[in-house]
């Protein structure tokens, strides 16, 4: 009797749905949500990074002091530099997840449209069409940027604890400045489509809020691009030296 | 009106196809695009050639059977179905390219006919409400506020023609799927299956080989029924909500 009633209950039970992480990562919608969340994390960091960079205009003393302070955030609860390392791990994971999801989704998207139209038409905006290669350019730039100003491997000054002098030495090389400015323009384009797209992906968008998110995306893109480019322009014009 | 048509001709699903040119004369500007193709086919049949195969049914813009990519645009230059597109939108002497919907999930059957049964399987995975059969329930038993009814109706307008998939550079069915999810999830009748519907339909959509959404907005631009792009945001929200709740009913 017990066995029989047991099998009855099994027969009427609804199928179990897969785990949250499994169902999210396996679906295109969920993977996009991962891209949106990691994108927003990186965007929030970039706003803080850009604002911090602007301290360069207050001189070497203040900028280097700011650089040293970042290493003390969270003390005494956190050990020296721990906040910095937590931020690095979070950002590193965000970049990797964002990139892996983008790669997997792009492969899928290309496979979903194997035949092209004979009558080709220009589609979507420039920012939208350049998301994939723009993302690749940004990833390569991040590698260069870390080698230049974090590990100081390719920095001509390479003095630990003197970010101001390292920065000025780096931007004294015109090709580096040009590369930096191009990367920041790519960043602006990426954010212009990416921020609104994240709002759409996370379900925050609606017909009523669409304009707001588009305006916000453009404002963020403009603010970050101009803010970041201001530093090499400052070095080029001699305002920062 | 005389036109040069370049039409995708493909004998069978497995055969290689090619764009083939036809000179068509005596076209009236009052003809629909399908009537213009009928006109071409009559000439082809008289000449002993194989007529161009294309899907069509109501020819009133309400069934979703017809659909072809005209000059690179799904359903052509006007925001309507191919059957409701009239030749007055073309000029004498134009060259017009006519191609089938292009997507891995919509294989070409013949010429301009594609197999859209992937859409049926997406609908079969949750695009319905389970109701007991019997006599019709009392209409006032389930009140639906007017704005909700309007939202549901706006999305119920989707005719499943597939223009969204054809227009999407990723061959994504997000707009189609979101139309049904928003339609039914907005209504009280759809509430018991709110989570399983969106999870099931998104799962089926992925399994059919449709691409993901990159928010290019091409789908909503091509949609003859004006399903808004933001409906995809609503479906994404429903999907994330259902995932967080583990797919259980409300």
ipTM of the complex: 0.92
A115 C-beta neighbours (distance < 10 Å), count: 14
Q: How many domains are contained in chain A?
A: 1
| Residue A119 falls inside a structural domain | no
Q: How far apart are CA B80 and CA A128, in angstroms?
A: 25
Copy the structure tokens of residue B224.
């003859």
Check pLDDT > 70 for residue A17. Answer: no
Per-residue pLDDT, A123: 76
**Which pLDDT does position B248 carry in this prediction?**
54
CB pair distance less than 8 Å for B233 and A205: yes
User: A-chain residues within 8 Å CB-CB of B162?
Assistant: none
Could you tell me the domains of chain B? 3-110 (3.10.20.30), 116-244 (1.10.1060.10)
Residue contact B214–A29, C-beta within 8 A: no
Give the residue numbers spanning the domain of A47: 29-112+130-235
Mean pLDDT of B11-29: 96
Could you tell me the two tokens for B236? 């994404």
Are residues A33 and B240, on separate chains, in Cβ contact within 8 Å? Answer: yes
The tens digit of pLDDT for each residue in A62-78 reads 999 999 999 999 999 99
Rounded mean pLDDT of A117-124?
Answer: 86
> CB-side exposure of B205: number of CA atoms within 13 Å?
30
Segment B132-180, tens digit of pLDDT: 788 888 888 889 999 999 999 999 999 999 999 999 999 999 999 999 9
**Can you give the pLDDT at residue A15?**
63
Residue among B8, B216, B228 minimizing CB distance to A207: B228
Q: Which helix (H) or strand (E) holds A99?
A: helix A82-112
Across the interface, which of B69, B206, B238 has its CB nearest the CB of A117? B69
Per-residue confidence (pLDDT) for residue B140, from 0 to 100 = 87
pLDDT, tens digit, for every residue of B58-113?
A: 999 999 999 999 999 999 999 999 999 999 999 999 999 999 999 999 999 999 99
Closest chain A C-alpha to B17 CA, distance in angstroms: 11
The tokens for B68 are: 């072809």
Q: How confident is the model at residue A38 (pLDDT cuts 50, 70, 90)?
A: very high
């Amino acid at each position: 009797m017990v066995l029989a009633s047991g099998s009855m209950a099994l027969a009427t039970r609804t199928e179990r749905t897969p785990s949250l992480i499994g169902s999210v990562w396996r679906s295109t919608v969920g993977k996009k949500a991962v891209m949106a969340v990691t994108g927003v994390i990186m965007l929030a960091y970039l706003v803080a990074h850009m604002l911090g960079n602007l301290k360069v205009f207050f001189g070497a003393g203040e900028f280097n002091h700011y650089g040293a302070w970042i290493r003390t955030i969270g003390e005494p609860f956190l050990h020296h530099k721990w906040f910095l390392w937590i931020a690095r791990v979070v950002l590193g994971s965000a970049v990797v997840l964002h990139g892996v999801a983008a790669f997997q989704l792009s492969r899928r998207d290309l496979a979903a449209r194997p035949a092209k139209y004979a009558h080709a038409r220009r589609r979507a905006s420039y920012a939208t069409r350049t998301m994939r290669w723009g993302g690749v350019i940004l990833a390569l730039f991040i590698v260069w940027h870390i080698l230049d100003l974090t590990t100081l491997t390719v920095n001509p000054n390479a003095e630990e604890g003197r970010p101001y002098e390292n920065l000025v030495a780096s931007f004294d090389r015109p090709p580096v400045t040009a590369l930096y400015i191009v990367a920041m323009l790519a960043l602006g384009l990426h954010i212009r489509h990416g921020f609104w797209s994240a709002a759409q992906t996370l379900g925050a968008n609606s017909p009523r809020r669409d304009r707001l998110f588009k305006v916000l995306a453009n404002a963020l893109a403009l603010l970050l691009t101009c803010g970041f480019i201001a530093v090499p322009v400052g070095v080029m014009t001699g305002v920062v030296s | 009106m005389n036109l040069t048509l370049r039409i995708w001709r493909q004998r069978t699903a497995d055969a290689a196809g090619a764009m083939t040119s036809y000179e068509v004369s005596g076209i009236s500007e009052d003809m629909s695009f399908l009537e213009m193709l009928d006109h071409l086919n009559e000439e082809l049949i008289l000449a002993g050639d194989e007529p161009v195969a294309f899907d069509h049914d109501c020819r009133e813009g309400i069934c979703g059977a017809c659909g072809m990519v005209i000059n690179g645009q799904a359903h052509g230059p006007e925001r309507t179905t191919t059957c409701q597109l009239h030749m007055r939108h073309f000029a004498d002497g134009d060259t017009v390219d006519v191609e089938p919907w292009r997507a891995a999930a919509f294989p070409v059957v013949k010429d301009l006919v594609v197999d859209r049964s992937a859409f049926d399987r997406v609908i079969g995975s949750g695009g319905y409400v389970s109701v007991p059969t019997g006599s019709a329930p009392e209409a006032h038993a389930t009140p639906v506020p007017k704005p909700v009814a309007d939202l549901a109706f706006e999305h119920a307008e989707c005719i499943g023609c597939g223009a969204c998939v054809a227009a999407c550079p990723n061959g994504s069915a997000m707009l189609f799927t979101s139309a049904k999810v928003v339609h039914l999830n907005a209504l009280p009748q759809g509430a018991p299956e709110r989570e399983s519907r969106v999870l099931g339909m998104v799962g089926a959509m992925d399994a059919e080989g449709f691409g993901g959404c990159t928010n290019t907005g091409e789908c909503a631009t091509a949609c003859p029924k004006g399903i808004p792009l933001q409906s995809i945001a609503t479906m994404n929200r429903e999907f994330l909500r259902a995932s967080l709740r583990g797919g259980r009913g409300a």
